């Protein structure tokens, strides 16, 4: 039963952080941000918060800095909203898996478009010249 507790706490932290970031953190460096997941260690001492953001590398760095600036505020408010003996330390990580997933999706779309273009050039695919043998 204790193994489900970190997962429940992680989801609770993700929900609270999303609300705090949307409503209460007014840092101009904070871009359009999505919290993808939170992982809490089994001892409940550390919460790794994974996020994605829109924009280029510069926007990503600005968001990272803004999250670091907001960290004490976020942890203090998490402590008020979630009743725990000790609130986990928060660490933010850019979620690379979403970027990789987008890249795979783009490659698949490109392959599909390429196949459609080939099909348009050769509509019957295996159409050979029947008169060649005569």
> pLDDT exceeding 70 applies to what percent of the chain?
90
pLDDT digits (tens, 9 = 90+) for 64-122: 999 999 999 999 999 999 988 899 999 999 998 877 777 788 888 888 888 888 888 88
Single pTM value for the model: 0.73
| pLDDT for the residue numbered 125 | 54
More confident call, 57 vs 123: 57
* Helix-strand-coil split of the chain, %, nearest 5: 55, 15, 30
Average of per-residue pLDDT values in the chain: 87
**Is the pLDDT reported for residue 35 higher than 90?**
yes
CATH of 4-96, one of 3.30.300.20, 3.40.50.360, 3.30.420.40, 3.40.50.170: 3.30.300.20
Burial of 15 per CB tally in 10 Å (0-12, 13-18, 19+): middle
């Amino acid at each position: 039963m204790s193994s489900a507790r970190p997962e429940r706490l992680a989801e609770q932290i993700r929900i609270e952080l999303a609300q705090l970031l949307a409503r209460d953190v007014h840092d101009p460096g904070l871009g359009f941000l999505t919290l993808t997941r939170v992982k809490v260690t089994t001892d409940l001492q550390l919460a790794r918060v994974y996020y994605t953001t829109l924009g280029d590398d510069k926007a990503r760095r600005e968001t990272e800095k803004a999250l670091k600036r907001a960290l004490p505020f976020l942890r203090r408010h998490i402590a008020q909203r979630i009743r725990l003996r000790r609130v986990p330390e928060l660490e933010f990580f850019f979620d690379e898996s979403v970027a990789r997933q987008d890249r795979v999706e783009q490659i698949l779309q490109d392959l599909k478009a390429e196949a459609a273009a080939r099909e348009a050039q050769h509509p019957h695919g295996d159409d050979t010249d029947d008169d060649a043998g005569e």
